[in-house]
Amino acid sequence: MSTIENILILTINPGSTSTKFAVFENHKPLFVKTIRHSAEELEQFDKITDQFEFRKELIMKALKETDVDLDKIRVVVGRGGLLRPIESGIYEVNDKMINDLYTSPFGEHASNLGGLIAENIAKLLPNARAFIADPVVVDELQDLARFSGHPKFPRISIFHALNQKAIARQHAKNIQRNYEDLNLIVVHLGGGISVAAHQKGLVIDVNNALNGDGPFSPERSGGLPTAALVNACFSGEFSKKEITKMLVGEGGLVAYLGTNSTIETKEKISNGDKFAELVYDAMGYQIAKEIGAMAAVLSFDVDYILFTGGIAYDSTFVNKISTRVEKIAPVAVYPGEDELQALAMNGLMVLMGEIDPKAY
């Protein structure tokens, strides 16, 4: 990829308790900052989108305190939020997107603030345009993948699209191939876990990594026995809110071990906790099963299996999964989930004319 001198990219990634942002010159980060938000700071806001002005002002204050020339920023890329299902790509923020991010008809999430803040900051700069890239609602599913077993419950695409696409393209570049020519299984290992079948540049099948199916994760239950779940819902013992927390936030490792931290889980194991070891192995076992399922989706014509996300730093955990699936395809590991870098990569491709922004 070529470079453009003296042109900067601002990337913004709002999380539930933090706001991460960075300024890049091409691939090089000039300034990276994470601002943590206490529960006391955020509890004054009724809705997540009410935090917009609060978070934007913190970003602007921090930027003005640096020696970065803000007038050189040409692109502001925010983390995409819960929008209607869209194709993979980078989207210029428009009025329709702003309305959907602000009113949140498809769900509230801190990432909804990404496009809103990006658009507002871009207006404050003399030559900047605002974008989002590969939000979690990227939907490239083949029709077969949308069936669940009942028409009232179609399978939907919610996964770590930004990280998955960025890692898939990075791997293709590393092996001097085009992403659009490869069949890949990409496994994101984080607070949520997504296992996706990438066929010639399209994610044709993936588990709903937020609140649906697939392997359990540090804080999500993944697929559950449906009859038992129905019985729990109507037992009178749990409220809807409590059931929802069982699925997202208090499922997975949290439910079994009381922690969403794989570091704490490994400490338990090193201290001789056999049950913790069994649970951690079970999570890996379920991930391996999901990889096998995605291999079947690709007719076992798989070029590589890629592991990414924070838990991918645990080489022992990844190796245990790899021994179960390495007969399918070679394995490569890209630990971490640098969304800011991925956003910058998308912004740079726009500046270089390598991709055209899409309209929401």
Confidence (pLDDT) at 27: 83
16: pLDDT strictly greater than 80 = no
11: pLDDT strictly greater than 80 = yes
Structure tokens at 337: 């989930």
Helices (H) and strands (E) in the chain, counts: 12, 12
Q: CATH topology of 8-140+339-359 equal to that of 176-335? A: yes
151: pLDDT strictly greater than 90 = yes
**Is the domain covering 8-140+339-359 a CATH 3.40.50.20 domain?**
no
Homologous superfamily (CATH) of 176-335 is ATPase, nucleotide binding domain (3.30.420.40)
Range picked from 57-71, 79-93, 286-300 for highest mean pLDDT: 286-300
3: pLDDT strictly greater than 80 = no
Summarize pLDDT for 256-297 with one digit per residue, the tens. Answer: 999 999 999 999 999 999 999 999 999 999 999 999 999 999
107: pLDDT strictly greater than 90 = no
| Cβ contact 211:250 at 8 Å | no
d(CA 158, CA 164): 12
Give the residue-averaged pLDDT of 226-253.
95
d(CA 77, CA 91): 9
Summarize pLDDT for 163-212 with one digit per residue, the tens. Answer: 999 999 999 999 999 999 999 999 999 989 999 999 999 999 999 998 88
pLDDT > 90 fraction of the chain, expressed in percent and rounded: 86
158: pLDDT strictly greater than 80 = yes
1: pLDDT strictly greater than 80 = no
| Cβ contact 78:128 at 8 Å | no
Q: Give the residue extent of every domain in the chain.
A: 8-140+339-359, 176-335
Structure tokens at 96: 């329709």
Q: What three-state secondary structure class fits 187? A: strand
Confidence (pLDDT) at 26: 86
Confidence of residue 4 (pLDDT cuts 50, 70, 90): low
d(CA 195, CA 41): 35
Give the residue-averaged pLDDT of 31-55.
90
Summarize pLDDT for 331-349 with one digit per residue, the tens. Answer: 999 998 889 999 999 999 9
- C-alpha closest to that of 115 among 169, 104, 126: 104
Give the residue-averaged pLDDT of 132-140.
95
**CB-based burial of residue 239 (10 Å sphere; 0-12 exposed, 13-18 middle, 19+ buried)?**
exposed
Average pLDDT, the chain: 94
Confidence of residue 42 (pLDDT cuts 50, 70, 90): confident
39: pLDDT strictly greater than 80 = no
pLDDT > 70 fraction of the chain, expressed in percent and rounded: 99
Give the residue-averaged pLDDT of 88-104.
95
Confidence (pLDDT) at 284: 98
| Cβ contact 108:45 at 8 Å | no
d(CA 106, CA 293): 28
